[in-house]
Amino acid sequence: MTEAVLELRDLHVTYRAAGVDVPAVRGVDLTIGPRDTLGLAGESGCGKSTIAGAVLRLLPRATRVEGEILLEGQDVLKLRPGKVRAVRWTTAAIVFQGALHSLNPVQRVGDQIAEAIETHARTRSRRTTTARVGELLERVGLPARRRREYPHQLSGGQRQRVLIALALACEPALLIADEPTTALDVMVQAQVLSVLEDLQRDAGLALLFITHDLSVLRSSCRRLAVMYAGRIVEEGPSGAVFDEPRHPYARALASAFPTIGDPASRYRPSGLAGDPPDPTALPTGCPFHPRCPVVVDDVCPSLDVRLRPAGPAREAACVHVGGDDDG
Ligand SMILES: Nc1ncnc2c1ncn2[C@@H]1O[C@H](COP(=O)(O)OP(=O)(O)OP(=O)(O)O)[C@@H](O)[C@H]1O
Ligand SMILES: [Mg+2]
């Protein structure tokens, strides 16, 4: 069996704010194979970025990170800090949420990429590095000559491409893209998405793609995981999860967005009342039950159902999902 690029086993992450524990991720299992693409979706605050940060051990504020985070078989939670730095960017790299302004404004973009390359491969000559910078820029659809420009000379979409090139500088096996298109307009979003799709296909990257927009994930990812209140509540092949979601929350999320490629489709109301729960005061039983349109009153408020089989290669955490014959 081929080794997974990333495997999370029973991951728990807790923060502490204003004297109370904030359980942001509460037992997540997840596997991404080589060249695989997994989309992670869910409303604001459900724990998506926390998972991304945990994989690269970039959560200085977390008070508890438990479980296993296996990157190419190595548990990053067991690595010494020096070793973590070596793994970060070379095995897994991240394009951060809201990072469009994180480029150094007074340094040419090419020099910023060159620095990233040189930090991890000290033996390269300046000439090889410059060639590699040009290659990386071209790979994300920017002409090599733009390496001489400063961030303010680039548009938002172009800056996002530079950030992707930066993440690729050390040839990681896994790229985590956390809402890489959210701040961009629709046309530019589509261009950045196609860059990510090409990279995944041509460079053989594994991709963990995070967004709240399920319709983006349907076309870009092979598998789809939907999170709610710190847990995955549904996982399976993208088309199946998007077109026929089994968990009522996934259903609400899928119906909130139009289908890409279907000009007749409109944004439909999701029929979902209320806000996502406060992680410090989670509802009893199934955390989705107060908002659930198909809640079973004498069951769901007391029964916290975990993921169960929901059809071929699918799982969902709902009392209405019965098992293999149910898919
Ligand atoms: N440093 C922190 N201290 C305390 N609580 C935090 C901290 N960072 C995140 N949280 C809380 O952890 C939960 C998960 O946050 P996270 O950023 O992972 O969500 P998200 O799914 O990425 O949301 P969004 O879609 O808004 O980016 C939220 O309730 C958030 O308020
Ligand atoms: Mg986030």
Mean pLDDT (the chain) is 88
Radius of gyration of the chain (CA): 20
Ligand at shortest distance from the CA of 11: 1
Of the candidates 152, 155, 129, 124, the residue with the CA atom closest to the CA atom of residue 141? 155
The region of weakest confidence among 57-66, 98-107, 212-221, 292-301 is 212-221
Quick one: pLDDT at residue 257?
58
Task: State the number of CA atoms in the 13 A half-sphere of 258 facing the CB.
Answer: 8
Strands 315-316 and 231-237: antiparallel
Q: What is the pTM of this model?
A: 0.91
Quick one: pLDDT at residue 1?
57
pLDDT band at 290 (very low <50, low <70, confident <90, very high): very high
Rounded to the nearest whole angstrom, what is the distance from the C-alpha of residue 23 to the centroid of ligand 1? 10
Rounded to the nearest whole angstrom, what is the distance from the C-alpha of residue 300 to the centroid of ligand 1? 26
pLDDT at residue 161 tops 70: yes
Rounded to the nearest whole angstrom, what is the distance from the C-alpha of residue 25 to the centroid of ligand 1? 9
Average pLDDT, stretch 293-304? 95
Helices 156-168 and 126-139, packing angle to 10 deg: 130
Q: Angle 118-119-121 (CA atoms, 0-180°, nearest 5)?
A: 55
Of the candidates 260, 123, 256, 254, the residue with the CA atom closest to the CA atom of residue 189? 260
Q: How far apart are CA 205 and CA 133, in angstroms?
A: 18
The region of weakest confidence among 60-69, 140-149, 180-189 is 180-189
50 in ligand 1 pocket by Cβ < 6 Å? yes
Quick one: pLDDT at residue 191?
82
Rounded to the nearest whole angstrom, what is the distance from the C-alpha of residue 211 to the centroid of ligand 2? 8
Delimit the domains of the chain by residue range.
Answer: 6-91+173-277, 101-171
CB atoms within 10 A of CB 63: 12
45 in ligand 1 pocket by Cβ < 6 Å? yes
Residues 236-268 pLDDT 10s: 999 999 999 999 999 998 887 554 444 444 444
Cα distances from 302 to residues 59, 113, 229, 308, in angstroms, run 32, 52, 16, 17
In angstroms, how far is CA 313 from the centroid of its own chain? Answer: 20
pLDDT band at 36 (very low <50, low <70, confident <90, very high): very high
Helices 156-168 and 186-203, packing angle to 10 deg: 20
Residues 56-65 pLDDT 10s: 998 889 999 9
Q: Which CATH superfamily is domain 6-91+173-277 in?
A: P-loop containing nucleotide triphosphate hydrolases (3.40.50.300)
Residue to probe by mutation, ligand 1, list 26, 49, 58, 280, most atoms within 8 Å of CB: 49
pLDDT at residue 105 tops 60: yes
Residue type for position 90? T
In angstroms, how far is CA 162 from the centroid of its own chain? Answer: 19
pLDDT at residue 122 tops 70: no
Backbone angle region of 6, left / alpha / beta, with phi > 0 → left and psi within -120 to 50 → alpha: beta
The residue among 24 and 325 whose pLDDT is bigger is 24
Residue whose CA is at the smallest distance from ligand 1 atom 17: 49
pLDDT band at 194 (very low <50, low <70, confident <90, very high): confident
Cα distances from 276 to residues 47, 187, 208, 249, 315, in angstroms, run 11, 30, 23, 11, 22
Quick one: pLDDT at residue 270?
55
Residue pointed to by tokens 């080589």: 34
Residues 167-184 pLDDT 10s: 999 889 999 999 888 777
Average pLDDT, stretch 189-202? 84
